[in-house]
Chain A
Amino acid sequence: MYKILEKTQFSEKVFKFRIEAPELAKHAHAGQFLMVRANECGERVPFTFADWNAEEGWIEFIFMVIGKTTMMLSTYEAGDSLEDVTGPLGRPTDMSGDGTWCVIGGGVGLAIAYPVARQLVATGHEVHAIMGARTKDLLLLEEQFRELLPEDHIHITTDDGSYGEKGVVTAPLERLLEAKAVDQVFCVGPVPMMKFSTLTAQKFGTPITASLNPIMVDGTGMCGCCRVEVGGETKFACVDGPDFDATKVDWNDLRARQAAYRTEEGQALKAYEEANCACQR
């Protein structure tokens, strides 16, 4: 059992858990993920490490309520325990690229972008962050990014214009690329965001990496549920990724596979709301 030490609510649907997990904290790297099974009847769900502390023995992950498991998780409080937390999984993000980096996070993807930005700064890179969200309420970790980066290296966009620049992340990205201000791009977020960021970076011939988020079951390379097409080859995101050269990713394939269980996801949520499932908490 893995104890929840702290629960933080960022907005109506976005939460952060700090979990007691000394071994995971000791071995985690930016870009890696963990698999969580909330209780005996639970499914295994991947979450990326948002933060960790080896000395204090905890890890953190951020989640948005989108279905049964995340809705149920949102009812857990500090002091409750999660049945299983497995990790670290996947390869750490490769930050060996030279020059100035642009880290793009969309929505909950900001939780994944933050440790990458932090480590890039720690290893002496100049970093720009593009923070995208649908609305102001969904913008995560602004304070942390502001502590990390100079004012003029933070670019905020909201779809509805409720905060920062109205629009999507590709506008500031295009400006940075035009000004030749960045040499490497890392992006993580919803598929359309990653796809269009990639097209923008490609236009300028700037290398871009994306952290992919397909459905996973075991997260250790055993089942192939998370397979993605990269450069015409099948790769398992859980062991070969989750980061890939974004210019080679087949985004349509990723989207189709992500959507494969829409119907069942709806059924599970309905059963939960009607309290027909065996495990509530």
Chain B
Amino acid sequence: MPEVNGRWVADMKAPRTPDNEEPAAERAHDFRPVDKGFTEEMAVAEAARCMRCKKPLCVQGCPVNINIPAFIEKIYEHKFGEGLDIIHEQSMLPAICGRVCPQETQCEGKCIRGVKSQPVAIGQLERFLGDQPELASKPKLAPKNGKKVAVIGSGPSGITCAGELARNGFDVTVFEAFFTGGGVLVYGIPEFRLPKTVVKREIDGLKDLGVKFQFNSVMGNLANAEELLGEKGFDAIYVATGAGLPKLLNIPGENLPNVFFANEYLTRVNLMKANKFPQYDTPTKHGKHVVVFGGGNVAMDSVRTALRLGAEEVTLCYRRTEAEMPARRAEVLHAKAEGVKIHELVSPLEFIAGEDGAVRAVKVQDMELGEPDASGRRRPVPIEGAIEEIPCDVAISAIGTNANPFAKKIGGMELNKWGYIVADEETGRTSNPKIWAGGDIVTGAATVILAMGAGKKAAADMTKVLLGEDGE
């Protein structure tokens, strides 16, 4: 009983409520959502495990400092709408973040209950509320202030910034290069991890706040910063174009047919629905033996997509060991449960063509772990002469991305030598007093929640500056 003599006592005996998942053997062959989320009963039981710490470390672990114990308390009291309002004070995308944040290194990683037992399932509880958006209070909108802001890019950073600005009374237009909004949430993260209906709901919510979307708008080639701030009459710009340019492996055979960058492989399926070809027009390759290089979330999404496209054998090749993989832990476990083989300590050397000209195998170099590098992780070092060949008919490279090339074409602000925008991480201010920037185009590829945090901070700063309350 959590209440004893009117005082809160957490249920210390209860184990962490297990995730509500589809069985691995069934789910691995279609695109249904793997995790069904907590039922009301599960959520309330899990909420009882929270100790309601006076100085909650979980809040510090959250990049946008959501008042976690407060919303969990509301769940325990069945006041779900109030709980959602508490989250909305810091984050407008709980249904997304609850699903895709790497909680084990953020909020849950700091949860005190994790020391002796399992941390509270904060992500699942956040998602439980996020999936009931109809319960939230209507957001209070500031009166229209007559200022126009252009947001470039509709990924997590852009949509967060747009939402905050709209609430603050700005006239906001989001320019998006694709035909639909969401950025990596729609082209990158697969349906089985983040249903597109969830993303659409968040975008539609922004439209209800008065945010305008202009799709098919490749800014930089279409209007640039000068034109937006000039004849188009915008008072400010938030640039959130992301970092979507694939990194090359720079090894022989990289351009062979059926060797993909993960972005292409995932875009074909997630955005263009190539899994439904020929009902949908975009085709993709259904490999029997698929090899994926990388250890992040994009690599996990690629291996699991390959399985769902009918691969018989999927091998994830990573140059370090599973312990060093930057992917969300839950996705590594999901991938393994679904039958993905993990081949640790290998690095690709060369893709080899078959008689048809397409890839038939990849030569890899065996590695061992040496001294720690700048990231604190032990550096993989080649073992001389230890080279093996892995047969494959589809190979996917998921080793990371570089700055989106359109930031330069948008112009008007300083970039660093790698093409990322130079911006203050606390305010998003760039070298141009009318341009702010945030998300992956400033930090390099990071997480959804960090991109959101940047959008939120920039919106707050833009509001101060544009409404003349800067005090300068």
A residues in contact (CB < 8 Å) with B: 23-24, 27, 32, 37, 41-44, 68-69, 83-89, 217-218, 220-225, 227-229, 234, 236, 239, 253, 256-257, 259-261, 264-265, 267-268, 271-272, 276-279
Q: How far is the CA of A81 from the CA of B308 in the complex (A)?
A: 34
B255 touches A27 (CB 8 A): no
B272 touches A223 (CB 8 A): no
What number of residue pairs across chains A and B have CB atoms under 8 A from each other? 123
CB-contact partner of A43 in B177, B245, B256, B281, under 8 A: B281
CB-contact partner of B218 in A83, A87, A259, A264, under 8 A: A87
A43 touches B278 (CB 8 A): no
In the complex, residue of chain B having the shortest beta-carbon distance to the beta carbon of A83: B179
Assess whether B246 is interfacial by the CB under 8 Å rule: yes
Measured CB to CB, the closest approach of chain A to B299, in angstroms, equals 16
Which of B215, B264, B404 has most A Cβ within 10 Å?
B264
A277 touches B248 (CB 8 A): no
Beyond contacts A23-B217, A89-B218, A221-B406: 19 other A-B pairs, Cβ-Cβ < 8 A, are: A23-B223, A42-B281, A43-B281, A43-B282, A86-B177, A86-B217, A220-B177, A221-B245, A221-B404, A221-B405, A222-B404, A225-B264, A227-B255, A228-B255, A234-B255, A256-B256, A268-B278, A271-B279, A276-B279
CB-contact partner of B261 in A42, A224, A279, under 8 A: A224
In the complex, residue of chain B having the shortest beta-carbon distance to the beta carbon of A219: B218
Assess whether B108 is interfacial by the CB under 8 Å rule: no
Assess whether B357 is interfacial by the CB under 8 Å rule: yes
B283 touches A268 (CB 8 A): yes
Measured CB to CB, the closest approach of chain B to A51, in angstroms, equals 18
CB-contact partner of A224 in B264, B276, B278, B404, under 8 A: B264
Q: How far is the CA of A222 from the CA of B273 in the complex (A)?
A: 17
Chain B interface category by residue count: 35 or more
A221 touches B282 (CB 8 A): no
CB-contact partner of B406 in A86, A220, A257, A271, under 8 A: A220
Which of B216, B245, B272, B273 has most A Cβ within 10 Å?
B216
Contacts of B215 in A (CB 8 A): 84
In the complex, residue of chain A having the shortest beta-carbon distance to the beta carbon of B266: A223
Contacts of A253 in B (CB 8 A): 255
A interface, over-half SS: mixed
Contacts of A257 in B (CB 8 A): 255, 257
CB-contact partner of B281 in A41, A225, A234, under 8 A: A41
Assess whether B163 is interfacial by the CB under 8 Å rule: no
B interface, over-half SS: loop
List B239-268 residues whose CB lies under 8 Å from chain A.
Answer: 244-246, 248, 250, 254-258, 261, 263-264, 267-268
Contacts of B276 in A (CB 8 A): 278
Q: How far is the CA of A84 from the CA of B218 in the complex (A)?
A: 12
Q: How far is the CA of A264 from the CA of B257 in the complex (A)?
A: 14
Q: How far is the CA of A218 from the CA of B405 in the complex (A)?
A: 13
Assess whether B8 is interfacial by the CB under 8 Å rule: no
Contacts of B279 in A (CB 8 A): 41, 271, 276-278
Contacts of B273 in A (CB 8 A): 41
10 A–B pairs (Cβ distance < 8 Å), ordered by A: A32-B221, A83-B179, A84-B215, A85-B216, A86-B178, A87-B221, A218-B267, A221-B406, A256-B256, A265-B283
Q: How far is the CA of A2 from the CA of B110 in the complex (A)?
A: 51
Assess whether B369 is interfacial by the CB under 8 Å rule: no
B267 touches A222 (CB 8 A): yes
Contacts of B246 in A (CB 8 A): 222-224
Assess whether B280 is interfacial by the CB under 8 Å rule: yes
Contacts of A271 in B (CB 8 A): 278-279
B278 touches A86 (CB 8 A): no
Q: How far is the CA of A253 from the CA of B283 in the complex (A)?
A: 20
A23 touches B264 (CB 8 A): no
Q: How far is the CA of A257 from the CA of B257 in the complex (A)?
A: 6
A264 touches B404 (CB 8 A): no
Contacts of B263 in A (CB 8 A): 222-224
CB-contact partner of B277 in A229, A256, A268, under 8 A: A268
In the complex, residue of chain B having the shortest beta-carbon distance to the beta carbon of A270: B278
Q: How far is the CA of A42 from the CA of B180 in the complex (A)?
A: 14
In the complex, residue of chain B having the shortest beta-carbon distance to the beta carbon of A276: B278
List B433-459 residues whose CB lies under 8 Å from chain A.
Answer: none
B358 touches A260 (CB 8 A): yes
